[in-house]
Amino acid sequence: MESEATQYMSLTLAPADQQISRELDRAHVFHSWSAQAALNPLVIAGGCGSTVWDFEGNEYLDFSSQLVNTNIGHQHPAVITAIKEQADVLTTVAPAHANLTRGHAAQRILDRAGPSFSKVFFTNGGADANENAIRMARLFTGRDKVLSAYRSYHGATGAAIVATGDWRRVPNEYSRGHVHFFGPFTYRSEFWSASPEEESDRALHHLERVIQAEGAGSIAAILIETIPGTAGVIVPPPGYLAGVRAIADRYGIVLIFDEVMAGFGRTGGWFAFQSLAEDGEVALPDLITFAKGVNSGYVPAGGVIIPSMIAETFDDAVYPGGLTYSGHPLAMAAIVATLDAMEAEGIVANADRIGREKIALGLADLADRHPIIGDVRGLGVFWALDLVADRSTREPVPAAVIGKLKSAMLSQGLLPFFADNRLHVVPPCVVTEAEVDKAISIYDAAFAAL
């Protein structure tokens, strides 16, 4: 991989383009979730594996995986080759037609989701995957309301952003029928819980009471991130997913697992709900939404994984939804190549092993030595450090501290992912032990400098 990185870097080293890139961006590009005037974006010219660099050759370990999506790493040669080969055959095709590459992509996704699922509806990304899952649930049940957690992010389109629980929902509440509840979070419990088991029980009781108060017969779906990602990599406590499954069954509600961020290797399994199986028992959703890691974002793609009982609803009734680029052949080729390479190269197993043997231990050691770290949680290559001003009160550190940490890490050659008061440790699934060691040392130095 080092020789490949050198090769790729040689193609992109052009110091004159560094300033041009920044000037063009500031003159013409409108950035998401940002006040535009103060932006000074990092220029990314190229990448390989777990590393990116700018036009001047400054390298950064990408422990953000961009937006937690480059699971197979940057510029994986098998995926690039597949995209190029597909471009030579057919660059685009309408979704109404059958296409061989699309069929192979759907088959590979279903193979990993398991025999309970039979169809895939392809979208352009995770937000419209959630939009369509909500639509399917409403049409299948004949009900309207959608329940989702306050600590969640489901995308920035109409229904997806209102299903989202964080602050980004508030300026965008134009979609109807959305109700929020508190999910479990042992470290910052809303339920005064003293243990993970108690947190699970009380969160389930709360959810069921919300359903009863809203009127179970009005609720089409419960939409939850299997492991809430942007909200803090909040691994659910024992029994929670199974409990939600039981509640959904009791009231005839469709259960949707949003695996957009957690799926395809991120948790050390193909899907997070599989990684979270208890005593060999898997809590199965009715619908699964995905995107990001399915092809590491090389070409935009997402989708909804559908069981027969819901797919058959539309055997004779028209499904009222679609996208021009649904199942785009270049994206489908990237999916096939990504999933095949992840299987052949043991990339999912690497994420599991390195999470248990390196990341977990390294972050625990940091927490022992730095009081700013209040909590360490995660699995696979999906971790978060809850950063606090005081461990006893668990008061989050202020934004100024996060700014100093980010600057320190960038100056030492690491591209971090921060959300609110949290440092998310989310490298590609191909990350090596040496790269984890380097990242831990950079984190250590940044915390020590405070």
Sorted by sequence, the CB contacts under 8 Å of residue 4 that are 6+ apart come out as 48, 49, 75, 77
Pairing, β 302-306 against β 287-290: antiparallel
What is the arithmetic mean of pLDDT over 143-164? 98
Angle at 356 (CA atoms; ends 352, 361), nearest 5 degrees = 150
CA distance 309 to 306: 8
Residues in the chain: 450
pLDDT tens string 58-111: 999 999 999 999 999 999 999 999 999 999 999 999 999 999 999 999 999 999
CATH of 78-344, one of 3.20.80.10, 3.40.640.10, 2.60.40.10, 3.40.50.300: 3.40.640.10
Q: Which residues pair with 225 in a beta bridge?
A: 258
Tokens for 307?
A: 């069981």
Query: Could you say which architecture CATH assigns to the domain 347-424+434-450?
Result: Alpha-Beta Complex (3.90)
Compute the distance between CA of residue 109 and CA of residue 86 in angstroms, rounded to an integer. Answer: 19
Average pLDDT for 437-447: 98
Q: What are phi and psi of 418, to 5 degrees?
A: -110, 140
What the block records as the tokens of 257 is 């697992």
Provide the pLDDT confidence category of residue 14 given band limits of 50, 70 and 90.
Answer: confident
* Average pLDDT, integer, range 315-336: 98
Q: Are 388 and 401 in contact (CB under 8 A)?
A: no
Residues 6+ apart with CB under 8 A from 265: 71, 72, 293, 342, 347, 348, 351, 380, 381, 429
pLDDT band at residue 305, thresholds of 50, 70 and 90? Answer: very high
Helix (H) or strand (E) run with residue 100 in it: helix 100-113
- Short-list 138, 178, 143, CA closest to 162: 178
Cα(379)–Cα(381) distance, rounded to whole angstroms? 6
197-209 pLDDT, tens digit per residue, is 999 999 999 999 9
* Residues 416/427, Cβ–Cβ less than 8 Å: no
The structural domains of the chain, with segments of one domain joined by +, span 1-62, 78-344, 347-424+434-450
Task: State the average pLDDT over residues 174-178.
Answer: 96
Closest CA to 241 of 276, 198, 208: 276
Torsion, CA 386, CA 387, CA 393, CA 395, rounded to 10: -110
**Residues 334-346 pLDDT 10s:** 999 999 999 999 9
pTM for the whole structure: 0.96
